[in-house]
Amino acid sequence: MCLTSSLLGVLVFVKRRSLLSEALSHAAYPGVAISVLLTSMFFAYSEELIALSVLVGASLSSLIGLYLIEKMKSWKVADDAAMTFVLSAFLGVGILLVSYLQQTKALWYQQIQLFLYGQIATMREGHVVIYLALALITLTFVTFFYHLLLSSSFDTTFSRSVGLPIRRLNFISFSLLVLSIVIGIRSVGVVLMSGMLIAPALAAKAWTASLSKMLLLAALFGLISAYFGALLSDGLPMNLPAGPLIVLVAGTIALISLILSPSNGALFRIARILKFRTDILRENILKLAWKNEGRTTTAKIRTLFPTSSLLLKLFLLKMAREGYIEKRGRAIVLTKDGERRAARVVRLHRLWEVYLFDVMGSSEERVHTSACEMEHIITPELEEELSSLLGHPKVDPHKQPIPQEEPL
């Protein structure tokens, strides 16, 4: 169940329609109620029969919900309002029907209530067989039509131009979405189903950008959360329902993935920002020491680049370790390495000033600030190009000499 919903979740995710699953899973509820109602009129009580009829009923009412949302969008209703309207109104209809059933057939009513939060513990073999079959169908579809789905998800115009049946594909993938919702609501429940669709997809997106890997990862995350959710529900003494636990595990996985993700994760972003900042600070200190030749002190650095004194001391120690500076009494003196590095920073600064002044036509007073930022960013290749473009100038617009490049 979680496997299929995770797979479909990815497809919905890349189409930026995640919240649709929320609307559709709620819209399935009146279908559940109606089908149980109808079954109760014509047949004797049987759980397998209920499971089957609910599949049909829930899919139908989900599809009707989907149709209404699309219809309302064509009537120029904003799609978020349309979705909210349909999901809450359908749930209302469902509750109305259920309240009718509650009095007339209490035993059947119990069965419907299961679908609200879901319950794994009461599932029988019959259920498992039905859901397994549906999961297999989805799986086959996704593997067979992988390329079609790929192109239609990311470039609708292109796929239409090569003659892919977009409408049919969309219809099929939405039907599959509905199907997976219908499979899922028995175990996770109507209210939490959309969590199962969104969380694994989001977690997978944090690790990879390729659709095939995303599908695999999402399926894996879905399986993990299903397994641990069920395990927790079984193992803990509190007798907790499995549905919310599964969603909770999936949500936690998604959050952790977002934090740790190598490409866009928060940790790595913060680390990158910090590294950039220390690089800038190091180069600024070098530049200062280079200009002031032997008269640079900690206090002087702090007036120009405000940092806490303890941090700065530590940082200076680190720079001494790296072999850029030496301490002589209170003053900070550059080593040979430090001097070369500092000269390069100053060179970049002044080259950029020349560039702004000569080529871009900026005024002399305004070039300094921009150069203070650019000096930390320019790569050696860019430096080479810049220098030859400007004809290897010797002085900057303020008539200061530009240090020449020294071979390392």
Partner 1 sequence: MNPYWNAHFFSFLVLFVKRLFLLITGQLPVSELAIDEVQIFAFALIGISCALVGTFLVVRKMTMLANSLSHTILIGIVMAFVLARPLFPQGDQTLNLPLLLLASFLTALVTTCLTEGLIRLFKVQEDAAIGLIFTTLFALGVIAVTLLTRNTHIGVEIIMGNAEALTWHDLKLLLWIFGANTTLYFLVGQRLKLISFDEGFSRSLGMSRNGATYLMMMQVAATAIGGFRAVGVVMILALFTAPILIARLVTYRLERLILMGSAIATVTALVSVALARHTLSCYQVALSTSGLFVTLLLVGYFTVHYGVLIQYGTKDVI
Which residues sit at the interface with partner 1, rule CB under 8 A?
A: 13, 16-19, 21-22, 26, 75, 77-78, 80-81, 83-85, 87-100, 103-104, 113, 116-117, 191-192, 194-195, 197-199, 201-202, 238-241, 243-245, 247-248, 250-252, 254-255, 258-259, 264-266
Q: How far is the CB of 208 from partner 1 (least distance, A)?
A: 15
| Cβ atoms within 10 Å, residue 302 | 13
| Cβ atoms within 10 Å, residue 74 | 9
Q: How far is 266 from 304, CA to CA, in rounded Å?
A: 30
Beta-carbon-side half-sphere exposure of residue 371 (alpha carbons within 13 Å): 25
- If the CB atoms of residues 263 and 278 are measured against partner 1, the closer one turns out to be 263
Q: How far is the CB of 396 from partner 1 (least distance, A)?
A: 39
CA neighbor of 24 nearest in space, from 32, 201, 130: 32
Q: How far is the CB of 74 from partner 1 (least distance, A)?
A: 9
Q: How far is 300 from 272, CA to CA, in rounded Å?
A: 28
Q: Which residues, 6+ apart, have CB-to-CB distance to 177 below 8 Å? A: 8, 11, 12, 20, 21, 24, 197
- If the CB atoms of residues 75 and 336 are measured against partner 1, the closer one turns out to be 75
Q: How far is the CB of 260 from partner 1 (least distance, A)?
A: 11
Q: How far is the CB of 124 from partner 1 (least distance, A)?
A: 21
- If the CB atoms of residues 191 and 378 are measured against partner 1, the closer one turns out to be 191
How close are the terminal C-alpha atoms of the chain, in Å?
Answer: 62
- If the CB atoms of residues 246 and 312 are measured against partner 1, the closer one turns out to be 246
- If the CB atoms of residues 185 and 371 are measured against partner 1, the closer one turns out to be 185
Q: How far is the CB of 238 from partner 1 (least distance, A)?
A: 6
- If the CB atoms of residues 88 and 122 are measured against partner 1, the closer one turns out to be 88
Q: How far is the CB of 61 from partner 1 (least distance, A)?
A: 13
- If the CB atoms of residues 111 and 194 are measured against partner 1, the closer one turns out to be 194
Amino acid at 316: L
Give the burial class of 311: count Cβ atoms within 10 A of its Cβ; 0-12 exposed, 13-18 middle, 19 or more buried. exposed
- Cβ proximity of 229 and 13 under 8 Å: no
Q: How many residues does the chain have?
A: 408
Give the burial class of 42: count Cβ atoms within 10 A of its Cβ; 0-12 exposed, 13-18 middle, 19 or more buried. exposed
Listed as own residue / partner, the contacts of 338-345 with beta carbons closer than 8 Å and 24 or more positions apart are: 338/286, 338/289, 339/290, 340/406, 340/408, 341/283, 341/286, 342/283, 342/286, 342/287, 342/289, 342/290, 343/290, 343/403, 343/406, 344/403, 344/405, 345/283, 345/286, 345/287, 345/290, 345/375, 345/376
- If the CB atoms of residues 4 and 233 are measured against partner 1, the closer one turns out to be 233
Q: How far is the CB of 99 from partner 1 (least distance, A)?
A: 3
Q: How far is the CB of 39 from partner 1 (least distance, A)?
A: 19
- If the CB atoms of residues 208 and 298 are measured against partner 1, the closer one turns out to be 208
Q: How far is the CB of 153 from partner 1 (least distance, A)?
A: 14
Q: How far is 24 from 175, CA to CA, in rounded Å?
A: 11
Q: How far is the CB of 21 from partner 1 (least distance, A)?
A: 8
- If the CB atoms of residues 199 and 285 are measured against partner 1, the closer one turns out to be 199
Q: How far is 118 from 154, CA to CA, in rounded Å?
A: 34
The SS3 call for residue 216 is: helix
CA neighbor of 40 nearest in space, from 98, 105, 102, 113: 105
- If the CB atoms of residues 97 and 281 are measured against partner 1, the closer one turns out to be 97
| Cβ atoms within 10 Å, residue 399 | 7
